[in-house]
């Protein structure tokens, strides 16, 4: 397993060992002991989620306000452009983001500790995501950040994403901080 640190504190790209042959592949997608010892992920996972989205669907940027979730994200079919944004106004990397391609082909995973905003845009015809969460989802605790906030400077892989009504209405970074995100 290879662990790559990113420019955001605690956010990691994880490349699991993949064993391929003419029959296909095998990989260990999670082991509490290995991820603790090698990647330093010690928080317990309490909820697993799966989603399917289609080309140019953009989901995000989402976060939980009082009960932030750490997430270990994998793509099991297709490919996405995955983005993490530091929304902690006391952080040295506040307002900065990282972006990484996650795909069923590259097998990469993304570890996002609690306290970050997260979103993705589908770059294949269809993409299935699987993510393990360190806290339970609570709709009343949900927050969002505008995907196209100019303060973030995210260059998404599509100019015309397919967005939910809710994702079209999230505030930009300045308004989010004024609300006390």
Which active-site residues does the annotation give? Answer: 62, 131
| Separation of alpha carbons 129 and 77, rounded Å | 7
Q: Alpha-carbon distance 147 to 126, whole Å?
A: 20
Q: Of 66, 61, 134, 135, which Cα lies nearest the Cα of 95? A: 61
The answer to whether the beta carbons of residues 14 and 111 sit under 8 Å apart is yes
CA distance 26 to 30: 12
The CA-to-CA distance between both ends of the chain, in Å, stands at 35
């Amino acid at each position: 397993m290879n662990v790559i640190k990113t420019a955001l504190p605690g956010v990691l790209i994880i490349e699991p060992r993949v064993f391929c042959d003419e029959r296909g592949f095998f990989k260990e997608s999670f082991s509490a002991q290995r991820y603790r010892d090698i990647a330093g992920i010690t928080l317990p996972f309490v909820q697993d989620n799966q989603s399917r989205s289609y080309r140019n669907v953009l989901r995000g940027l989402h976060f939980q306000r009082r009960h932030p979730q750490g997430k270990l994200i994998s793509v099991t079919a297709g490919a996405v452009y995955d983005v993490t944004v530091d929304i902690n106004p006391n952080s040295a990397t506040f307002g900065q983001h990282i972006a990484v391609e996650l795909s069923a082909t590259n097998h990469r995973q993304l570890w996002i500790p609690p306290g970050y905003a997260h979103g993705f845009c589908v770059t294949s015809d269809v993409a299935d995501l699987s993510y393990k969460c360190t806290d339970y989802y609570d709709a009343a605790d949900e927050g969002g950040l505008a995907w196209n906030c100019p303060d973030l400077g995210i260059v998404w892989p599509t100019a015309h994403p397919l967005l939910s009504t809710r994702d079209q209405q999230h505030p930009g970074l300045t308004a989010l901080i004024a609300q006390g995100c």
